[in-house]
Structure 1
Amino acid sequence: MSAANLPDTQNNADTRQIVIDKVGIKDISHPITFIDRDGNKNPTIGNFTMTVTLPEHVKGTHMSRFIEILNDGPCEFNSGNFDKIIDKVCERLESDTAHITLDFPFFRKKKAPSSGVESLMDYQVTLYGILNQGTSEVMIKVVVPVTSLCPCSKSISKYGAHNQRSHITIKARVVKGKTLHLEDLIELAEQKASCELYAILKRDDEKVVTERAYDNPAFVEDLVRDIAVGLNANDNIDYYRLESENFESIHNHSAYALIENNKY
């Protein structure tokens, strides 16, 4: 039997009259290229979840078309062009609603503060794309690991102060027609922390980062408030959700703070 004569069961009518909100593929790995602030192309591996809404009268969606879209050409993204793949999904899947989530590690070369030795620092990034009834939105999320040092511990101790590694998570919606640079979010979080992290540190670097953290103590509340000031001033963002989790070194729990702001 030729392919043209094979039955297409998923195109049959469905009589249960129930809309499926999301149907598609989940957790598929595919090579991508992330375009950074300077236009450099950074190859990495993306993990995609791609779905559409299925009308009540259609039995099934065309799962293979999601994969075909990824294999159509180079998957090159930043926050300014991610909506194009959402449009393509809606067109190819014949739907007016689509959701795409793309997770990937982003590597950034950093120089240690004293020795200047270079190493790659990794950040976990997520791009979200939604198209619903002709209206699209793109959001970007990044988890930035930093150091935080406790102001209270510093003020009450004769010497030293407890510090910990913290995760700053910024999820921001990009203003339509704008590009939100990932590096801007990373740098904002690192600048407001007690100290940023590096993959490689020599002895003289360890001295610098230890003293820098001691000179810049910050509660979890300070971290989110200081970063929120910068996010509020960024005209490329119209909504954000900002979290800080400090993995306490003297407690068996984390300190946590969240700020959410729909700017417009």
Structure 2
Amino acid sequence: MQQNQQHASLWPNKAARLKLFGSIPSVSGEKPVEAEGMHDLQNVQHDFLFALDQVGIGNLRYPLIVHSTLLPSTMTTSARFRLTTSLSQQSRGINMSRLTEQLELARQNGLSDRLDDLTTLTQNLARHMQQKQAELEVEYDWYYERQAPRSGRLGLNHAIARLELNHTMASALHVKATLEVQITTLCPCSRDISEYSAHNQRGRLTIEIIPANGLLPDDWKERLLEVAESNASSIPYPVLKRPDEKHITEQAYENARFVEDMLRLSAADLYEIEWISSFQIQCRNEESIHQHDAVGSITYSRTSAYSME
């Protein structure tokens, strides 16, 4: 300690060290340093050839309160935001700092993943930016308790939730909700042709829905999670003991599923949920006996000519 102090006394002071590593004095200029005297390029009005559909900020990480009917009922997670507004042909640009200002004000008021909170934020973006349209996208990890099927041991699983809101002065709010869920699938063909055993894999089911009239129930995440997990061969668990592993291994064997099966079974469940206007499901299985994935998708809308009946 004493030796270090002796060496330190021989070092140059802080200012000299910064100068040694390249710092230079500030340059005094003639341009204003207060906002009132600065030229506001964003607010220049002229004919700038085109109006813009969207302009703003993306990949912004910010805290978000997540509500759930599963435990934990409330938690704060890190969310990824994209905030944009339209831009008229006569305006040069937008004041992007106002977007983060509105997000921070919403956080101070308890911003959560409930539709009412996100709708208010989206409307405020359009109003404070003085634009006709605003869009908000937020993606976040939703954690929920999962209990092992035999031992009852608890842990947290997670799914990826995403909400997209489009607010336009002249029309109703447009909402899209997505949940990405991990599942387990066991190959029916492998089970059918083998004397014993069958290969299985981790799958990923992505369910994207548009609710009727832009109305999304508070338990939408839980409803989509149930659709994904109830149709899978089995599901992943955070904590498993040997009796649990035996149970889910046998459960997967008893409920073999192709990618095609997962898509059709999940589509049938979504079709029966009256508040869902349209949906798209994508399934991706990370094959354990191939270097490629098995993939598939299905899209359905109640307003289209296609019928599932």
* Structure 1 length-normalised TM: 0.95
Contact in 1 for aligned 2:162/2:177 (Cα 8 Å):
yes
For 1:194-233, list aligned pairs within 5 A. 194-233=233-272
User: In 2, Cα distance between the equivalents of 1:210 and 1:13?
Assistant: 66
Q: Does 1:122 align with 2:153?
A: no
Q: Does 1:163 align with 2:200?
A: yes
Which of residues 180, 187, 193 is equivalent to 2:232? 193
User: In 1, Cα distance between the equivalents of 2:245 and 2:279?
Assistant: 34
Contact in 1 for aligned 2:77/2:141 (Cα 8 Å):
yes
Deviations 1:151-192 (CA, angstroms, capped at 9, x unpaired): 111011000001100000001112223415101101110010
For 1:1-40, list aligned pairs within 5 A. 2-37=34-69, 40=73
Secondary structure of 2:291's counterpart equals coil
Contact in 2 for aligned 1:31/1:44 (Cα 8 Å):
yes
Task: Decide which structure has greater strand share.
Answer: 1
Q: CA deviation at 1:81?
A: 4.7
User: In 1, Cα distance between the equivalents of 2:35 and 2:296?
Assistant: 57
Which of residues 74, 91, 98 is equivalent to 1:58? 91
Which of residues 255, 259, 262 is equivalent to 2:298? 259
2:167 aligned residue: 131
For 1:66-145, list aligned pairs within 5 A. 66-72=99-105, 73-79=109-115, 81-132=117-168, 133-145=170-182
Contact in 2 for aligned 1:36/1:78 (Cα 8 Å):
no
Q: CA deviation at 1:135?
A: 2.5
Contact in 2 for aligned 1:168/1:244 (Cα 8 Å):
yes
**Structure 1 alignment gaps of length 5 or more:** none
**More displaced, 108-117 or 32-41?**
32-41
User: In 2, Cα distance between the equivalents of 1:110 and 1:80?
Assistant: 28
User: In 2, Cα distance between the equivalents of 1:80 and 1:222?
Assistant: 36
Amino acid aligned to 1:35: H
Secondary structure of 1:85's counterpart equals helix
Distance change >3 Å, CA 94–CA 107, structure 1 → 2: same
**Structure 2 alignment gaps of length 5 or more:** 1-31, 304-309
Task: Decide which structure has greater helix share.
Answer: 2
User: In 2, Cα distance between the equivalents of 1:178 and 1:145?
Assistant: 23
* Structure 2 length-normalised TM: 0.81
Q: CA deviation at 1:214?
A: 0.3
Report the identity percentage.
30
Secondary structure of 1:109's counterpart equals strand
Contact in 2 for aligned 1:37/1:182 (Cα 8 Å):
no
* Alignment coverage as a number of residue pairs: 264
Q: CA deviation at 1:82?
A: 2.9
User: In 2, Cα distance between the equivalents of 1:235 and 1:84?
Assistant: 25
Amino acid aligned to 1:118: L
RMSD: 1.7
2:188 aligned residue: 151
Distance change >3 Å, CA 70–CA 214, structure 1 → 2: same
Q: CA deviation at 1:80?
A: 5.4
User: In 2, Cα distance between the equivalents of 1:156 and 1:17?
Assistant: 65
**More displaced, 175-184 or 23-32?**
175-184
